[in-house]
Homo-oligomer: A and B are copies of this chain.
Amino acid sequence: MVRSDARENRGRIMDAARAAFAETGDVSMNQIAQTAGVGAGTLYRHFPTREALVLAVYQEEVERIVGSVTRLLTEMAPVDALRFWTLDLVEAMRKKHGLGDAISASALHKLNEETYDPVITAITQLLDAAKADGSIRPDADPGDFLQFTGALWRAQADGENRAPRMLDLVIDGLETH
């Protein structure tokens, strides 16, 4: 039986952590607890370790992204859904790599492992819709696509963001036109 204040605190901690990890990730546990407005012990009651907190935040993010596929496909044409969805994913990848110094190498590895399968499933779903639709070549491979987009998160240097343009290039190559 979870008390309501416990669930509320968990939410506040997740919010604070999400905001904290958004760009750099070099934020201490005590800082996150303070921002969330809870004691350090509460933070550790919910997430027994720093790594657990980081993992929880990014698993939630991946779930959100992966879960949005079905809705996107009802709202727009498959190719547009693919484009929109991928930019969302690329942004999440950028955040993940922004963790950089603050996350241990093995924690990052675990993150990648637990993230791979659901992401591939989502890409497959999007590509299949676009193939059924006839807008994308039937031989387009989800793994290849992920590999390509994996390079896009770097493409956000000074000033403007080249990721959308590069993504257009990739998608254009996959289209039957």
Tell me the A residues contacting B by CB distance below 8 Å.
99-108
Q: Is A101 within 8 A of B100, CB to CB? A: no
Complex CA–CA separation, A99 to B100 (angstroms):
16
Residue of B99, B102, B107 near A101 (CB, 8 A) is: B107
What is the copy number of this chain in the assembly? 2
Closest 8 pairs (CB-CB, A-B):
A100-B106, A105-B108, A101-B104, A105-B105, A101-B106, A103-B105, A100-B105, A104-B104
**Across the interface, which residues of B come within 8 angstroms of A100, CB to CB?**
104-106
Please name 16 pairs of A and B residues whose Cβ atoms are closer than 8 Å in the assembled complex, sorted by A: A99-B105, A100-B104, A100-B105, A100-B106, A101-B104, A101-B105, A101-B106, A101-B107, A102-B104, A103-B104, A103-B105, A104-B104, A104-B105, A105-B105, A105-B107, A105-B108
- A107 CA to B101 CA in the complex, in Å? 7
Taking the closest CB of chain B, its distance from the CB of A60, in whole angstroms, is 20
* Nearest-CB residue, chain B, relative to A101: B104
Docked CA distance A86–B105 (Å): 24
Residue of A99, A102, A105 contacting most chain B CB atoms (<10 Å): A105
Least distance between A138 CB and chain B CB atoms (Å) = 29
Q: Which residues of B contact A102 (CB under 8 A)?
A: 104
Report Cα–Cα, A102/B107, bound state, in Å.
10
Cα A103 to Cα B104 with chains together (Å): 6
Chain B nearest Cβ from A91, distance in angstroms: 19
Residues of chain B with a CB closer than 8 A to A105's CB:
99-101, 103-105, 107-108
